[in-house]
Amino acid sequence: MKGLKILTFMVATMLVIGLAAMGAQVKIDGSKHDFEGLTWNQNGGICGPCHTPHNALSSVAPLWSHTNTAASFTMYTNVTMNAAQPTEPNPVSLMCLSCHDGTIALDAFVGETAGATATMPVGSQVGAGANLGTEHPISILYDTNLVTADGALKAPPANLLNGGYVECSSCHDAHGGEENTKLLRMANSNSELCLTCHDK
């Protein structure tokens, strides 16, 4: 009887661990970034719209399959900003803008003729008109010097930064996001995300 209880416990535990591992693997599934089966997705599958195993866009890791935007962006500025002003977004954020600025068709893949049938819905456009001046600053270096200069930032959260920089991917996870709500890396109903960096 005791043996059976231990066995049941072990099976249940393995099931929970197994499900947790599966959950981590498939979180893009069913998210707004799950383009499987959509007509514009001639690259097929769930990864193809963004990645390709061969002949990827050489300027952008990781194995990027989507044609990049050629827009020359206006970046966020304000007199109270302490971070050094970037002249353009870093490649990791350009990847997002290659679909989200609305200038490139969703089905414009590297090495293929764009069907140019699908475009980003207006409500999901970010950086439209090449204007990032009304968006949270990106491609800014967030180091201890900035923390001192700003006076109201927490220590740089390494897990949210990309090579030390704040990028689109600091707040979002292209692969689904913890919450699957707006693909955010963490819940933000009580501004938890904002307060991970800002000490307000």
Task: State the Cα–Cα distance between residues 160 and 153, nearest whole angstrom.
Answer: 14
- SS3 percent helix, strand, coil of the chain, rounded to 5, is 30, 10, 60
Considering only residues 33 to 72 of the shown chain, the ones binding ligand HEC according to CB under 6 A are: 33, 46-47, 49-51, 62, 66
165: part of which helix (H) or strand (E)? strand 165-166
Of the candidate residues 71, 95, 103, 176, the single one contacting ligand HEC (CB under 6 A): 95
- H or E segment at 141? strand 140-141
Q: In degrees, to the nearest 5, what angle opens at C-alpha 46 toward C-alphas 98 and 60?
A: 35
Q: Does 78 bind ligand HEC (CB under 6 A)?
A: yes
Closest CB to ligand HEC among 5 and 159? 159
| Nearest residue (CB) to ligand HEC, 4 versus 77 | 77
Q: What is the DSSP code (8-state) at residue 68? A: P
121 CB burial (10 A radius; 0-12, 13-18, 19+): exposed
Of the two residues 3 and 123, which places its CB atom closer to ligand HEC in the complex?
A: 123
| 99 near ligand HEC, rule: CB under 6 A | yes
Residues that bind ligand HEC (CB under 6 A): 28, 32-33, 46-47, 49-51, 62, 66, 78, 80-83, 92-93, 95-100, 106, 121, 123-124, 126-127, 135-138, 140, 142, 150, 153, 157, 160, 166, 168-172, 174-175, 182-184, 188, 193-194, 196-198
